[in-house]
Homo-oligomer: A and B are copies of this chain.
Amino acid sequence: MRFLHTADWHIGKKLQGYDLIEDQKYVLAQILEIAKEEKVDAIVIAGDLYDRSVPAVDAIEVFNELMVEWNLHEKFPIFAISGNHDSNIRLSAGTPWFSHSNYFLQTRFEESFQPIEFKNSQIFLLPYFEPIAARIYFEDETIKTIQQAIEKVVDRMQEAFDPNKKHILISHFCVMGSTKSDSETKIEVGGLDAVPGELLEPFDYVGLGHLHNKSALHQKNARYSGSPLKFSLSEINQQKGVWIVDLEEELSLTFRELTPLFEIEEITATFKELLDPTFYQKINRENYVQIYLEDRTIIPNMMNQLRKIYPRILGVERSNGREVQVKRNSKKVVTKDPQKLVQGFFKEMTNEELTEKQNQWLTETLQELTETE
């Protein structure tokens, strides 16, 4: 079996207020072309089809039209799951009618143990789920974390393994030790939401969604495809694309790049330079630009003047002569311990430290959150 692996489309997402729907249509159209060129047997979408549990109608239209084209017109089999950004129930509407044309959109945890037999492979579609779903399904109160759940899930899946077939898992979670970007909007709490890579070893290939960087994970048999578009400034240096996964014999992987409608770009310059045609004619002003201003003086009506030349400004910051790199380190906040985050926020808002009692409440609450997650 040879297939294309993509994930994290987040249709309907905005980038600093800019609607990305045209950008998304642009790259998703390339995926179909790649699928044709590479003559794949199927297309895999590993969750987060939409950006929100209740997508806007234009997002629904885009996704619907794509699936009609890919599956009904171009006859590509589709294997898809819901991610943490999707509403599994909203997404499940109509899915029982899809499979007759080899379009499998799995949103139910309890149905993920039955593999789909396709070509030389058994495909397990495991949508994003919360530990509570596994606790109920396995009737096991000891399951508190995704890690504990995945252990049980993989055991159960292996019971259905046909030794003469390849075994593929499509899923949507965080594998321990992966590198994260800004745009994934999930704070890691003590590593309890992450799955050790060893648990995935029984599979010939694990096609993952959730992290937006295709290089987030280094494991022989598992990959994040990453998102097809850059969704934050922190992803500026990531090459976006899709995996072509060949399992005819030994696993072979090829990364096919996608070209965005508009790039994300950082510009460091003085205000005078930014307004100078000899400067801006050398760059693509249509791109999403993050501007680092080298000026130190006050500039009246700055944003209006800049927007006339750069229609897609993500932000303007003063570089103050320091290295821009310094600025970019601020993104590290998302990987901070939640306790420290709350303490920092409290300090910022009230200019006081948390009392001992408050700190104790915070610890207990975070503990509870971790346990019930």
Q: Which residues of A contact B (CB under 8 A)?
A: 54, 57, 60-61, 63-64, 68, 72, 87, 89-90, 92-98, 100-101, 103
A109 to chain B, nearest CB (A): 15
Q: Which chain B residues lie closer than 8 Å to A95 at the CB level?
A: 94
Q: Flag if A94 contacts B98 (CB, 8 Å).
A: yes
CB <8 Å contact, B87 and A57: yes
Copy number in the complex reads 2
How long is the Cα–Cα vector from A89 to B54 in the complex, in angstroms?
Answer: 13
Question: What are the residues of chain B within 8 A of A90 when measuring CB–CB?
Answer: 57, 60
Contact between chains at A60 and B72 (CB < 8 Å): no
By a CB distance below 8 angstroms, the chain B residues around A97 are 72, 94, 97-98, 100-101, 103
Q: With the chains together, A90 CA to B93 CA distance in Å?
A: 10
**A94 partner, pick from B54, B87, B94, B100, beta carbons under 8 A:** B94
B-chain residues with CB within 8 Å of residue A92 when the two chains form the complex: 64
What B residues does A96 contact at CB under 8 A?
Answer: 64, 68, 72
Q: Give the distance in Å from the alpha carbon of A60 to the alpha carbon of B92 in the complex.
A: 9
B residues near A94, Cβ cutoff 8 Å: 64, 93-95, 97-98
Give chain B residues whose Cβ lies under 8 Å from the Cβ of A87: 57
**Considering residues A89, A95, A101, which has the most beta carbons from chain B within 10 angstroms of its beta carbon?**
A89
User: Which residues of B lie under 8 Å from residue A63 when comparing CB positions?
Assistant: 93
